[in-house]
Structure 1
């Protein structure tokens, strides 16, 4: 998930309206193979490391720069950092691999790691003895290819259910926790030009990202999308639209459009991520809101959302000494202490299990996201490099359900058939 604008926080904040933004714009690029095994770095000076990432917004840029400089100093090296626009990063990586100018440290959006690792452009972190013991299995899975960890995420993010506390209070409704409660709450909150619920069902990977919590929580699985559990999640969306509790326009809305509906008071509840919080603060300061776990089919089930965030990798530059130094910097960069610093500055969730618990205690306003992350899953964990094709099949199927009125079981069976 790419980074969005964020506000650094000086300490614990008592209202979720005063949060800064997290990261995450779900996106997934289908990559061509880099070819070969990477290339040599342009400089053989092991005292200076070249870093490439896409953090170009003020708070992200500042905390990443400060943290990298601090850990580089501890390792006795300096860094030279290049910031590439997010939508250009993968093409840039391909070019650098071809020209043998890969950097010493490379940040990737986690869904892209599988493709880059499969090309041979990245080094397994075990080659350098990097300790990954504090990371949860699912967060490690986001940086793993064929059983080896190639990238580590210092912090992560996900999506949850934002709700207008005033609207729910006026209607005498508690935040929904199950699909039945979500359905009834959305219906009760719909009136005039206000919809009870908004979500993104756009025909892009962004739409699939929003569909996953419903699919996964219902027992659906990306390894076989032609199942009643997957179809059931699509049926929930279809029913909400058919009943008028969600707008027919959800098929055209990205997550930015969804949060705009919330800001305008046109939606009482929305599925979204904390990267939009700064916009809420700035554009709709009078709206009182809070965040809840995404509802599950039945009480007692786990709400399983997708993991967003970036992983940091060590490319195959051919310079063993620089790779060794890059590994030392990376180990320091992802320490629990630095995770807490970066999480606090960017309002992202530390990837280290114990650090996340500490973070939740220090930032109670983010406890919902910590809880949602604790059961979240990597998008590429099971399918690896096959994930982009399946993600497209998923959004193609639910678009057929919502736009054409196709029966969900048929739509997903047809989509599964295209996967072979």
Structure 2
């Protein structure tokens, strides 16, 4: 379920949104018009190298549009509270970056302006990311790049064991068992009791036809049975219930896991270990012929309702610019993410071959909020609670979801 703090924050934001509409962002009044020479921006890329890489894209758009920018970066955990504060003081930024699962919740408060108001072209974008940015039929933002999950594998270890990268669950279990030796496990993943654990579970659930609208279905529990089998069979550490995705990466880099479930944001860290030969494949499916479906991660750039129509129009141009082909390719190449315009996939993979499997995975990836919208956090909590129950032996996979749903 949503935490009380989260509910309170969103309720307060909904109450404050009308106040924000009567106010304005930096400069201009409720009906502000005329030339726009500056835009304020809030995002959570507050650490290098991401901060500077995104800054380069922002600077390109500022130059193209003939505006200066006043950028504020905040920690990701503080962003929603920052939006609340800015709404209360009637100083919402002209351009607001949001984690994609938050877009529908903020749009529901009336705090964002739909891009159709400004005739922004949303054609050619991956369906999943548009779905994440859509509320009640309106698209509220664009994401220049996204990320997802895959299976990394240690090429040397698999070759020595005569194991091929797995494409099905049975192949994954067989490979993981064969690769488990001494203090090395065959596979590592994050089953932690946070959204990270739910995020890592989704591709196994979705690829099997499981659905967040019915977490007690057999197709969902089958996916959890796979994880339980890997742990109880000794092919994955029982510590996965405590591991974040960064911890999983550390296990893989240290040679204590031959394979891992993780995302492309780990590539810079993997590159720091030149003796580690690795590659990646899409998330395995239960049966050959099924489609591998993983979740989409990434940030969406939006236009808040500030009351200054001229600035909102310019902000919409800025959002469109950030997601131009040039910026998508530049950001994706620099940050190991995937362009959201599907037509760019071929060119991107030719530039960054390491991203081939992730780019392929994005083509069928889904938004976490696509079906449940604002109710997604409740489902995510049920998922990670069920994972904890099953992997600690407190419940069978089927019972774990029933207990977690009832709680």
- Decide which of 332, 346, 354 is 2:321's aligned counterpart: 332
Shift of 1:124: 0.8
Question: TM-score, normalized by length of structure 1?
Answer: 0.90
Structure 1 segments (4+ residues) deviating >3 Å = none
* Corresponding residue number in structure 2 for 1:219: 209
Name the counterpart of 1:32: 10
SS of residue matched to 1:32: helix
- Alignment-derived partner of residue 303 in structure 1: 292
- SS in structure 2 of the partner of residue 290 of structure 1: strand
| 1:312 corresponds to 2:301 | yes
Q: Which residue of 2 aligns with 1:375?
A: 364
* Counterpart-to-counterpart distance in 1, 2:240 and 2:348: 34
What's 2:384 paired with?
395
Deviations 1:260-285 (A, max 9, x none): 11111110000011212222222x33
Match of 1:4 in 2: none
CA distance in 1, matches of 2:253, 2:353: 23
1:280 aligns with 2:264: no
Aligned residue number for residue 349 of structure 2: 360
Return the alpha-carbon distance in structure 2 between the equivalents of residues 183 and 109 of structure 1. 33
Cα distance, 1:57 vs structure 2: 2.9
Any idea what SS the aligned residue of 1:299 has? coil
Q: Secondary structure at the match of 1:404?
A: coil
The question of 1:87 aligning with 2:77 is answered yes
Note the C-alpha offset of 1:64: 1.8
SS in 2 for 1:225: coil
Q: What is the CA–CA distance in structure 2 between the aligned matches of 1:296 and 1:233, rounded to whole Å?
A: 10
The answer to whether the Cα contact below 8 Å between 2:267 and 2:336 also exists between their aligned partners in 1 is no
Question: Considering only aligned residues, what root-mean-square deviation do their CA atoms show, in Å?
Answer: 1.4
Written as runs of structure 1 = structure 2, the 5 A alignment for 1:110-259 is 110-259=100-249
Decide whether the 8 Å contact of 2:39 with 2:69 is kept in 1: yes
CA drift of 1:156 comes to 0.4
Cα offset for 1:337? 2.1
SS of residue paired to 1:196: strand
1:348 has 2:348 as partner = no
SS at structure 2 position matched to 1:100:
coil
Q: Could you tell me which of 18, 43, 49 is aligned with 2:27?
A: 43
In structure 1, the residue matched to 2:32 is: none
| TM-score (normalizing by structure 2) | 0.93
* 1:321-370 alpha-carbon deviations (Å, 9 max, x no partner): 10011111211221122211111121211000101232123322211110
Contact 2:264-2:355 within 8 A present in 1 as well = no
d(CA) in 2 for partners of 1:127, 1:83: 27
Deviates more, 1:74-83 or 1:378-387: 74-83
Aligned length: 389
Q: Is the 8 A contact 1:157 1:369 kept in 2?
A: yes
Which string of whole-angstrom CA distances, capped at 9 and with x for unpartnered residues, describes residues 269-327 of structure 1? 00011212222222x33111111111110112111111000000000000001001111
Q: Do the aligned partners of 1:42 and 1:100 also contact (CA within 8 Å) in 2?
A: no
SS of the residue corresponding to residue 163 of structure 2 reads coil
Instruction: Select which of 93, 101, 104 maps to 1:103.
Output: 93
In structure 2, C-alpha distance between the alignment counterparts of 1:191 and 1:181, rounded to whole Å: 18
CA contact (8 A) 2:142 2:320 kept: no
Does residue 1:293 correspond to 2:282, yes or no? yes
CA distance in 1, matches of 2:99, 2:37: 27
Shift of 1:76: 2.2
Q: Which runs of 5+ in 1 are unaligned?
A: 1-28
